[in-house]
Each structure stands twice: as C-alpha cells, then as structure tokens.
Amino acid sequence: MVYADADDLAVIKDAAAREDVSEAELVRAAIHPAAQRLRRRTEPLRLRRFAGGDPALAERVDDYLADDFANTPIT
C-alpha cells in the first residue's frame, strides 16, 4: 500500500475528475517514469543510430542548427 499527503491526494482527485480518468490512472502515469529512472539496467542502454548519408553532418551540425533557428519565427 502507498500513502500520500492528503493535499496531494486532493489535487489528484480534482485532476482525475477534470480529465475524466481514474485517480489510479493518474497515479500509475506518475509512478511509471519514476520507476523507469530508478530501474537498474542489466545491459547498457542502446541508442539508435541515425544514418543521414552525409559523412560531414556531425561537423556541420552547428551550422544547420543556426540556420534553422534563424529561420524559425518566434511565437
């Protein structure tokens, strides 16, 4: 069993009613990312590789980002 602060439970109860989901669903949604962060990995994390086809992409990434930010309107 898990115990929580009464004020926190009231916030969860209000949010569940507002979102039309169960309180348990909100609690599970909050617990999952915390458990993921705390889980000990038995194998190293494997990151997917990006095959861009441009061998010089890594060398020019700052230029690409600068161009993109310069052309993105501020909203």
C-alpha distances (whole Å) from 23 to each of 11, 16, 17, 35 are 10, 5, 8, 18
- In eight-state DSSP terms, residue 3 is -
Distance CA 27, CA 24 (A): 5
Q: Report which secondary-structure segment, H or E, holds 8.
A: helix 6-19
Single pTM value for the model: 0.50
Structural domain of residue 65, as residue ranges?
A: 6-70
Q: Count the domains in the chain.
A: 1
Indicate whether 59 belongs to any domain.
yes
Per-residue pLDDT of the chain (75 residues; tens, 9 = 90+): 778 999 999 999 999 999 999 999 999 999 999 888 888 877 777 777 777 788 888 888 888 888 888 777 776
Residue 56 domain-assigned?
yes
The rounded distance, in Å, linking the Cα atoms of 9 and 11 is 5
Instruction: Classify residue 75: in a domain, yes or no.
Output: no
Contacts of residue 22, Cβ cutoff 8 Å, sequence gap at least 6: 16
